[in-house]
């Protein structure tokens, strides 16, 4: 038996489709491993350690095809997978080799090959079909051979399989150093719109017939080991002289229908698909050993009865221009017969539903207590419905939920269908038992169809649970929400007055302000600076936290010449700085703000500076997608302005993106610019070493100085200072000071760093990593990260007034035990942090921590713990303490499963065995009957507080609650 399941489908925050085929515990993946894929698989309980081969479909593309591959490979290796094969087009080895600066694991052997001919394994034969043509390499045969050999050596160094499991930070650092000055890897002279698109025929091996005891009895075969001997291939002679062979005692072999994965991005590829013979005979394993191969360019079809109903399922991954129900495409689908089911993956027929369901549930819980800081996640129904005459006539109940939305008519019974079609939705499943194929939909399918209303309903259900168990807490939530909606009403009323022409409020606000001055000379106005936590996790994407990405939005007063309708309701425009850019940064922004010029496009256009702290994948693998999406946002913006016949320049017309990063970052973008021509148009790069202090060997060139001069003018920056972080090769921490006195400091990944404290003195806003909680100090030291108390210590020595903690270890499902102590109590515990020299400077004059000025700092500190999707202004950072009770309630009573097993910090509550995620209805982060199913603190439960912690929280100042 084998199972084929749609593991993910394209959405706003996940642009790929993945078909998952399971044979006896062995997993094979077909499709596009786009950014967010690994996280979606984890949220649905899919074990990457079972993967054996990945077949990449489509054209060479980082954004659409393989942006999620780095995280998937690292997670699979960390889960114990030791061997994996990756197949794709001619560029696949090159594409994987571009990840060499950040993707290393010596516990796994990964083979990367061009799928040029049939791939045969123990369970199936996979026939690659390249649609379209690819130009030959623009290089000599000798150069091409040398390139292939070099790429092979790079891949061998990336995945050497030198030990059984685990990973060593120093070995990775050494490998990164080895490739740090590596030359640009050339690619064949092919452009994304000219390359072939990979599709596959999946032909499971014929199943050997079962032993037929009745036949053996009729032939008079003794009921002893004789029967086993015959089944093993030996012949047996009956008393009458007849010879019995194996095939005489077996039922007929079962031919299993094939599956086809079609990836047709353009009409040009469709024209080639029509010419292919998708019913070509696939040789058996024995025939393959004799050199026979499948020929999809031949008109010869399957012989005899093997041609009848040869295809069970076809997944159609279609581009926008390839309409599935055009006359030509209908004729194409008809050739596969009425028994074939077509899964339609066209953008118009796929719902833009939630990809990361458990993270969305967490967002809903946080929105309950703080609606101004967490927006409703964007979702949308499919633009079009499958014509009812093609829907399955008698779908199973589970399938009916997918193919027949509540607002669509039921198919008419009876009649003949030309073919069957259903929309491509996560969770659709096909189970093959012999020659019988059962079509069903998994429990995840309903979650995939979650829409905006369903998210609101889920939030109401959570509030009902709280009302039953904690009515006082529910009342506080209701009061908070009432205040929020009243503020929203007042805000909308002001916008209405502005729209009607009343600009007195704007004029009075902006009077006597200099053009281009960030925020205001009044430091009280610094509170309008806001932070968007796009991702707050570390290492690899996880269920509740995506990898790191932080945007700081700076209000700039709008010059009078630029007063246009886009900013009529505010006296300023916004320019932003992006600090690090992990996988799915663009997708998460799109899910938070929705599509369109006033949604994600606006947030992308606002970003004027990107700061990449170092070249670990969780900090930069989203950069290419970000740069490309930002270019597309400006293109759409200009088209909109032209359609409005508005030709005046505005501050938002400037598409320049300043990039401060290690040299390898721009080198990586240059490699992929060979696939995306013009990718770096508008990008102005400054090597991070340019901002180092003199004693740290800076790189000074007139070019970088000129670029920084323009950057300074664009963002009103006075100085940028950078120090080397205590983390890995070419890692940096930085501090940016503006002319109006506002100061912004970002740690990146680092151990506590005295040099960083020096450049960040009296910072207005400190964004600092807090990867580990204090009991894991040894791990923090070995992996060169900071603990929570160490981050607080850095803030104290900087005299920072606002502290934003982020980059939490994925070992914590939600957060470490931040709610159990105040900042002062955290700092007092630092007396024991003496394990390495980088933490030692925090202990100098530690007695001053308890002096009056330090106590005043403790009381005035505005501290915020980052959660994915959070949007918060500096003036509101002290309010997070009010979340304590709600978060404690949610994760004590409603969380069903931790993302990982708890560490020693929670030994008293460490789960022995988590619940089956598939039995938790799609892995939802809470279970309404959780208290009935287990005792508090039992299996599958991680308590984030203790009784003592509860007492501490009751006595702690809200602004200091951690």
Q: 350-389, pLDDT tens digit by residue?
A: 999 888 888 888 888 888 888 889 988 998 888 998 898 8
Sole residue written with tokens 């114990």 = 80
Q: Are 579 and 767 in contact (CB under 8 A)?
A: yes
Whole-number pLDDT of residue 405: 34
What is the Cα–Cα distance from 160 to 98, expressed in whole angstroms? 17
Strand 341-345 and strand 420-423: the pairing is: parallel
Whole-number pLDDT of residue 891: 64
Q: Which two tokens stand for residue 935?
A: 């005792």
Which of 518-522, 705-709, 903-907 holds the top average pLDDT?
Answer: 705-709
Burial call 351-361: b when 16+ CB within 10 Å, e when fewer: bbbbbbbbbbb
User: In this model, does residue 450 exceed pLDDT 60?
Assistant: no
Strand partners, 660: 611, 686
Q: Which two tokens stand for residue 847?
A: 């007695």
What percent of the chain stands above pLDDT 70? 71
User: In this model, does residue 513 exceed pLDDT 80?
Assistant: no
Number of neighbouring beta carbons within 10 Å of residue 701: 11
Whole-number pLDDT of residue 496: 60
- Confidence grade of residue 406 (pLDDT, cut at 50, 70, 90): very low
Averaged pLDDT for residues 717-741:
94
- Confidence grade of residue 948 (pLDDT, cut at 50, 70, 90): very low
Q: Which of 555, 511, 959, 509 is nearest to 742 (CA)?
A: 555
User: In this model, does residue 410 exceed pLDDT 70?
Assistant: no
Whole-number pLDDT of residue 313: 93
Taking only the tens place, the pLDDT of each residue in 262-306 is: 999 999 999 999 999 999 888 888 888 888 888 888 766 555 445
Averaged pLDDT for residues 742-751:
96
Whole-number pLDDT of residue 650: 58
pLDDT averaged over the chain?
77
- Confidence grade of residue 454 (pLDDT, cut at 50, 70, 90): low
Taking only the tens place, the pLDDT of each residue in 624-660 is: 999 999 999 999 988 887 777 655 555 557 899 999 9
What is the Cα–Cα distance from 603 to 589, expressed in whole angstroms? 8
Whole-number pLDDT of residue 835: 61
The better pLDDT of the pair 303, 684 is held by 684
Averaged pLDDT for residues 553-574:
58
- Confidence grade of residue 868 (pLDDT, cut at 50, 70, 90): very high
Whole-number pLDDT of residue 843: 67
Whole-number pLDDT of residue 777: 87
């Amino acid at each position: 038996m084998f199972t084929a399941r749609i593991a993910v489908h394209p959405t706003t925050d996940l642009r790929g489709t993945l078909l998952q085929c399971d044979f006896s515990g062995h997993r094979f993946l077909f499709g596009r491993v786009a950014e967010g894929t690994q996280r979606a698989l984890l949220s649905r309980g899919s074990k990457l350690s079972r993967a054996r081969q990945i077949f990449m479909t489509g054209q060479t593309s980082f954004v659409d095809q393989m942006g999620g591959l780095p995280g998937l490979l690292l997670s699979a290796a960390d889960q114990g997978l030791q061997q994996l094969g990756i197949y794709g087009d001619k560029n696949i080895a090159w594409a994987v080799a571009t990840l060499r600066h950040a993707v290393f694991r010596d516990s796994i052997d990964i083979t990367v090959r061009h799928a040029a001919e049939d791939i045969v394994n123990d369970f199936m034969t996979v026939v690659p079909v390249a649609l379209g043509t690819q130009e030959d390499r623009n290089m000599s045969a000798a150069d091409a051979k040398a390139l292939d050999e070099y790429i092979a050596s790079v891949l061998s160094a990336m995945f050497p399989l030198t030990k059984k499991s685990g990973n060593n930070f120093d070995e990775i650092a050494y490998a990164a150093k080895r490739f740090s000055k590596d030359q640009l890897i050339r690619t064949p002279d092919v452009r994304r719109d000219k390359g072939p698109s990979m599709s596959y025929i999946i032909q499971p091996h014929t199943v050997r017939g079962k032993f037929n005891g009745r036949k053996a009895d009729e032939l008079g075969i003794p009921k002893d080991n004789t029967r086993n001997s015959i089944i093993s291939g030996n012949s047996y002679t009956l008393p009458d002289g007849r010879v019995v062979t194996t095939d005489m005692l077996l039922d007929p072999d079962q031919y299993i229908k094939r599956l086809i994965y079609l990836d047709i991005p353009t009409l040009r590829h469709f024209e080639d698909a029509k010419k292919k013979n998708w019913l070509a005979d696939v040789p058996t394993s024995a025939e393959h050993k004799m050199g026979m191969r499948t020929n999809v360019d031949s008109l010869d079809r399957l012989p005899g009865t093997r041609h009848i109903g040869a295809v069970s399922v076809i997944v159609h991954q279609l581009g926008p221009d390839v309409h599935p129900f055009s006359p030509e495409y209908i004729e194409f689908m008809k050739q596969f017969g009425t028994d074939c089911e077509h899964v339609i993956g066209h953008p118009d027929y796929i719902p833009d539903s939630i990809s990361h369901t458990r993270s969305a549930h967490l967002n809903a819980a946080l929105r309950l207590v703080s609606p101004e800081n967490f927006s409703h996640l964007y979702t949308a129904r499919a633009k079009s419905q499958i014509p009812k005459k093609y829907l399955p006539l008698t779908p199973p109940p589970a399938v009916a939920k997918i193919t027949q939305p509540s607002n669509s008519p039921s198919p008419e019974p009876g009649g003949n269908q030309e073919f069957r079609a259903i929309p491509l939705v996560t969770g659709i499943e096909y189970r093959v038992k012999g020659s019988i194929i059962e079509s069903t939909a998994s429990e995840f399918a309903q979650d995939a169809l979650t829409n905006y209303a369903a998210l609101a309903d889920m939030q109401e259900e959570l509030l009902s649970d709280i009302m039953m168990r904690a009515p006082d807490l529910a009342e506080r939530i209701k009061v908070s929400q009432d205040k929020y909606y009243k503020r929203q009403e007042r805000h909308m009323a002001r916008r209405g007055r502005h729209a009607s022409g009343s600009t007195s409020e704007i004029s009075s606000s902006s009077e006597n302000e200099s053009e281009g001055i960030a925020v205001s000379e009044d430091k009280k106005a610094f509170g309008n600076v806001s932070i968007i936590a796009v991702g707050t996790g570390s290492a690899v994407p996880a269920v509740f936290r995506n990898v790191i990405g932080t945007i700081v939005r700076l209000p700039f007063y709008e010059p009078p010449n630029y007063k246009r309708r886009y900013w009529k309701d505010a006296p300023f425009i916004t320019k932003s700085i992006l600090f690090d850019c992990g996988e799915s940064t663009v997708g998460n922004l799109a899910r938070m703000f929705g599509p369109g010029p006033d949604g994600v496009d606006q947030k992308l256009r606002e970003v004027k500076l990107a700061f990449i702290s170092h070249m670990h994948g969780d900090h930069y693998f989203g950069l290419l997608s970000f740069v490309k999406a930002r270019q597309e946002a400006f293109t759409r913006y200009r088209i909109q302005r032209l359609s409005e016949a508005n030709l005046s320049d505005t501050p938002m017309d400037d598409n320049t993106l300043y990039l401060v990063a290690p040299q390898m970052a721009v080198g990586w973008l240059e490699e992929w610019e060979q696939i995306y021509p013009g990718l770096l148009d508008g990008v102005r790069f400054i090597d991070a070493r340019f901002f180092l202090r003199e004693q740290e060997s800076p790189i000074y060139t007139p070019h970088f100085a000129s670029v920084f001069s323009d950057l300074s003018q664009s963002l009103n920056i006075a100085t940028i200072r950078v120090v080397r972080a205590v983390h890995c090769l070419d890692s940096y921490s930085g501090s940016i000071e503006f002319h109006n006195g506002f100061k912004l400091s970002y740690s990146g990944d680092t151990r506590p760093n005295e040099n960083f404290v020096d450049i960040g003195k009296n910072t207005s806003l400190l964004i600092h990593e807090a990867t580990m909680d204090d009991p894991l100090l040894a791990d923090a030291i070995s992996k060169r990260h900071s603990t929570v108390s160490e981050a607080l210590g850095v803030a104290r020595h900087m005299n920072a007034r606002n502290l934003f903690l982020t980059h939490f270890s994925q070992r914590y499902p939600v957060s470490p035990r931040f709610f159990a102590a105040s900042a002062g109590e955290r700092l007092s515990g630092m007396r024991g942090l003496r394990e390495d020299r980088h933490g030692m400077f925090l202990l100098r004059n530690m007695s001053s921590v308890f002096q009056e000025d330090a106590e005043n700092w403790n009381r005035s500190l505005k501290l915020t713990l980052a959660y994915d999707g959070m949007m918060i202004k500096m003036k509101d950072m002290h309010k997070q303490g009010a979340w304590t009770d709600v978060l404690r309630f949610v994760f004590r009573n409603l969380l069903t499963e931790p993302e990982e097993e708890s560490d020693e910090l929670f030994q008293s509550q460490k789960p022995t065995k988590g619940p089956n995620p598939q039995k938790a209805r799609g892995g939802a982060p809470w279970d309404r009957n959780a208290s009935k199913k287990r005792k508090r603190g039992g299996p599958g439960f991680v308590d984030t507080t203790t009784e003592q912690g509860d007492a501490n929280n009751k006595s702690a100042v809200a602004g200091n609650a951690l």
